[in-house]
């Protein structure tokens, strides 16, 4: 215990604390005695971000540092066949042109000279086996793959039997496009390679991987590589990959001193690790009341998990690809959710903020709307009925065993509570102005429950405007309500 007026950090006490016996039956503080949990607290990093004092990777300045910008082969898998750099080297401020197997970098005294030099290069690319791949090719191949049975992510009851007894059957195909991260801070990395070590300055979400790739490229032991991690100027999952670090170290090996490599926005968009394209086939069989007897969802898409963390890809299932679909909150007496892994040629896919739920919740909720329309029922009331059915169906199921790929099963009562609250606060059911409409969705993700009601207007020329969005959230115990509001 510190004496009054004296302070020590947790780190200073960690070693001593580790030597103490582990206490048993530690009583937790009663929530009524909380003084900080549940109260708003301002972020301490905001003032420096507003004033410009905060240091992001792109702010790094090292004595003697050069600036480089780069262009990689526009087709993944392509190679550099040749480059005429005479015009680039004639530009004032340009000092060097670096050739890599699949890219060219211009090293200069400042960014403007590097950009001018890049534009002056005459590059010949060997675009390789993916040169003729188009978006239409990718979608066509996914459509073909989607007809094949996939790995089972969730199965309860007998979908075929449920479909056979249905009065009305509905099928739909939903597609979600590739999405780039477009992080606010351009991709950048500063590197200084020396014979006896390598220093890396970067904003990255996986520092250990950044260190490992620098060690591999330089051939140095990992303990000779130092990574100075910085604030991220937005990432959304983009900086979970270290391709930019790998490239920067390769360039720095050919530069005699520190060099900051900055991607242009065009380079960033063209060589992102995109959120995968998803092609989903959904089907349902309805009874006389318009309620589902069977629900099927076959998800076709590439696996980020298999590329990024192979041990996480088990039994043919990518947990991220089925998240939000394998554990819907609604009552389906017969349900089958499958995953068909299909890798797209010439594309690298990665995690995109919100991951699985960003695509699956949209598809599930949109299809529930189709069922409500077929049943000629109000979409909020229809969801309430399905949530009541879920409470009855799942009462005897082990919530941890329903769909282990997507975590514990949601509690239908909590989904219904946020749905009711959002509908009430949005005035659901009240008349709307001409050319206005309302939409609703509910979801369970990352242990939180949320329902959203949107009011939109459509002009006579087809322009859509979002007029109002009402969200109700149940995320359990709230530590800082300000961060919850900011997230929503």
Model confidence band, residue 318 (pLDDT cutoffs 50, 70, 90)? very high
What are φ and ψ of residue 84, in 5° steps? -100, 110
Span 144-180, pLDDT tens digits: 999 999 999 999 999 999 999 999 999 999 999 999 9
- Decide the pairing of beta strands 66-72 and 259-262: parallel
As a whole-number percent, the residues of the chain with pLDDT over 90 amount to 88
Q: Do 400 and 308 share a structural domain?
A: yes
Question: What pLDDT, on a 0 to 100 scale, did the predictor assign at position 158?
Answer: 96
Domain membership of residue 33 (yes or no) is no
Question: What pLDDT, on a 0 to 100 scale, did the predictor assign at position 313?
Answer: 95
Q: Do 375 and 245 share a structural domain?
A: no
Question: 167-171, 407-411, 418-422: which has the minimum mean pLDDT?
Answer: 407-411
Strand arrangement of the beta sheet that strand 448-458 belongs to: 436-445, 448-458, 464-474
Which domain does 204 fall in, by range? 57-127+182-270
Span 174-217, pLDDT tens digits: 999 999 999 999 999 999 999 999 999 999 999 999 999 999 99
Domain membership of residue 253 (yes or no) is yes
Domain membership of residue 3 (yes or no) is no
Number of compact structural domains in the chain: 2
Question: What pLDDT, on a 0 to 100 scale, did the predictor assign at position 411?
Answer: 93
**HEC string for the chain:** CCCCCCCCCHHHHHHHHHCCCCCCCCCCCCHHHCCCCCCCCCCCCHHHHHHCCCCEHHHCCCCCCEEEEEEECCCCCCEEEEEECHHHHCCCCEEEEEECCCEEEEEECCHHHHHHHHHHCEEEEECHHHCCCCHHHHHHHHHHHCCCCCEEEEEECCHHHHHHCCCEEEEEEEEECCECCCCCCCCEEEEEEECCEEEEEECCCCHHHHHHHHHHHHCCCHHHEEEEECECCCCCCHHHCCHHHHHHHHHHCCCCCCEEEECCHHHHHHCCCEECCEEEEEEEEECCCCCEEEEEEEEEECCHHHHHCHHHCECCECHHHHCCCCCCCCCCCCEEEEEEECCCCCCCECCCCCCHHHHHHHHHHHHHHHHHHHCCCCHHHHHHHHHHHHHHHHHHCCCCCCCHHHCCCCCHHHHHHHHHHHHHHHCCCCCCCCCEEEEEEEEEECCEEEEEEEEEEECCCCCEEEEEEEEEEECCCCCCHHHHHHHC
Domain membership of residue 46 (yes or no) is no
Task: Please give the average per-residue pLDDT across 423-449, as a whole number.
Answer: 95
Q: Do 122 and 206 share a structural domain?
A: yes
Last residue in a domain, options 248, 270, 292: 270
Q: Do 216 and 73 share a structural domain?
A: yes
Task: Please give the average per-residue pLDDT across 411-436, as a whole number.
Answer: 96
Q: Do 365 and 223 share a structural domain?
A: no
Q: Do 241 and 204 share a structural domain?
A: yes
Question: CA-CA distance, 152 to 150, in Å (whole number)?
Answer: 6
Question: What pLDDT, on a 0 to 100 scale, did the predictor assign at position 229?
Answer: 97
pLDDT above 70 (res 487): yes
Question: What pLDDT, on a 0 to 100 scale, did the predictor assign at position 442?
Answer: 97
Whole-number average pLDDT of the chain: 94
Model confidence band, residue 409 (pLDDT cutoffs 50, 70, 90)? confident
Question: What pLDDT, on a 0 to 100 scale, did the predictor assign at position 6?
Answer: 87
Task: Please give the average per-residue pLDDT across 24-51, as a whole number.
Answer: 93
Question: What pLDDT, on a 0 to 100 scale, did the predictor assign at position 2?
Answer: 56
CA 220 to chain centre: 32
- Max Cα separation, the chain? 78
Span 255-304, pLDDT tens digits: 999 999 999 999 999 999 999 999 999 999 999 999 999 999 999 999 99
Q: Do 357 and 224 share a structural domain?
A: no
Span 96-112, pLDDT tens digits: 999 999 999 999 999 99
- Decide the pairing of beta strands 168-176 and 94-99: unpaired
Model-wide pTM > 0.85: yes
Last residue in a domain, options 244, 270, 296: 270
Q: Do 235 and 92 share a structural domain?
A: yes
- Taking phi first (over 0 means left), then psi (-120 to 50 degrees means alpha), and beta for anything else, what does residue 229 get? beta
Q: Do 337 and 202 share a structural domain?
A: no
Question: CA-CA distance, 351 to 117, in Å (whole number)?
Answer: 33
Question: What pLDDT, on a 0 to 100 scale, did the predictor assign at position 4?
Answer: 80
Domain membership of residue 252 (yes or no) is yes
Q: Do 113 and 143 share a structural domain?
A: no
Question: What pLDDT, on a 0 to 100 scale, did the predictor assign at position 400?
Answer: 46
Domain membership of residue 466 (yes or no) is no
Model confidence band, residue 469 (pLDDT cutoffs 50, 70, 90)? very high
Nearest to 320 by CA among 404, 407, 406: 406
Q: Do 148 and 75 share a structural domain?
A: no
Domain membership of residue 469 (yes or no) is no
Span 375-408, pLDDT tens digits: 999 999 999 999 999 876 554 444 444 456 656 7
Last residue in a domain, options 220, 248, 270: 270
Q: Do 382 and 249 share a structural domain?
A: no
Domain membership of residue 143 (yes or no) is yes
Give the domain CATH number at 72.
3.30.365.10
Task: Please give the average per-residue pLDDT across 239-244, as a whole number.
Answer: 97
């Amino acid at each position: 215990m510190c004496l009054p007026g004296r302070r020590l950090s947790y780190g200073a006490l960690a070693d001593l604390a580790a030597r103490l016996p582990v206490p048993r039956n530690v009583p937790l503080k009663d929530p009524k005695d909380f003084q900080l949990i549940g109260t708003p607290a301002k972020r301490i990093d905001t003032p420096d971000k507003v004033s410009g004092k905060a240091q992001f990777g792109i702010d790094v300045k090292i004595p003697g540092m050069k600036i480089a910008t780069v262009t990689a082969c526009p087709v993944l898998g392509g190679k550099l066949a040749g480059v005429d750099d005479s015009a680039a080297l004639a530009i004032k401020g340009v000092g060097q042109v670096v050739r890599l197997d699949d890219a060219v970098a211009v090293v200069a005294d400042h960014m403007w000279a590097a950009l001018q030099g890049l534009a002056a290069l005459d590059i010949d690319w060997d675009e390789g086996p993916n040169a003729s791949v188009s978006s239409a090719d990718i979608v066509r191949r996914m459509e073909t793959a989607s007809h094949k049975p996939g790995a089972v992510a969730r199965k309860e009851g007998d979908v075929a039997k449920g479909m056979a007894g249905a009065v009305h059957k509905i099928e739909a195909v939903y597609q979600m496009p590739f999405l780039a991260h477009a992080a606010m801070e351009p991709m950048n990395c500063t590197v200084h390679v020396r014979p006896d070590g390598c220093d890396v300055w970067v904003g990255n979400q996986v520092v250990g991987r950044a260190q490992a790739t620098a060690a591999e490229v330089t051939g140095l032991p990992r303990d000779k590589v130092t990574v100075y991690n910085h604030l991220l100027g937005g990432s959304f999952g983009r900086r979970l990959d270290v391709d930019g670090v790998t490239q920067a170290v390769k360039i720095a090996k050919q530069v005699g001193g520190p060099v900051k490599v900055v991607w242009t926005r065009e380079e960033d968009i063209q060589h992102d690790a995109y959120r995968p394209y998803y092609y989903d086939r959904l089907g349902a069989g309805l009874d006389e009341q318009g309620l589902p007897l069977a629900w099927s969802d076959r998800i076709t898409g590439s696996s980020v998990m298999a590329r990024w963390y192979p041990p996480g890809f088990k039994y043919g299932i990518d947990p991220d690809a089925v998240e939000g679909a394998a554990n819907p909150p609604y009552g389906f007496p017969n349900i089958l959710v499958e995953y068909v892994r299909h890798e797209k040629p010439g594309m690298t896919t990665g995690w995109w903020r919100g991951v699985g739920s960003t695509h699956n919740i949209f598809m599930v909720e949109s299809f529930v709307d189709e069922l409500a329309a077929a049943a000629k029922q109000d979409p909020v009331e229809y969801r309430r009925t399905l949530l009541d059915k879920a409470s009855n169906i799942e009462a005897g199921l082990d919530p941890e065993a329903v769909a282990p790929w997507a975590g514990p099963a949601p509690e239908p009562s909590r989904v219904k509570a946020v749905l009711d609250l959002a509908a009430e606060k949005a005035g659901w059911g009240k008349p709307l102005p001409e050319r206005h409409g309302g939409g609703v969705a509910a979801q369970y993700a990352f242990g939180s429950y949320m329902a959203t009601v949107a009011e939109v207007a459509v002009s006579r020329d087809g322009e859509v405007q979002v007029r109002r969005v009402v969200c109700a959230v149940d995320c359990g115990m709230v530590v800082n309500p300000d961060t919850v509001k900011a997230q929503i």
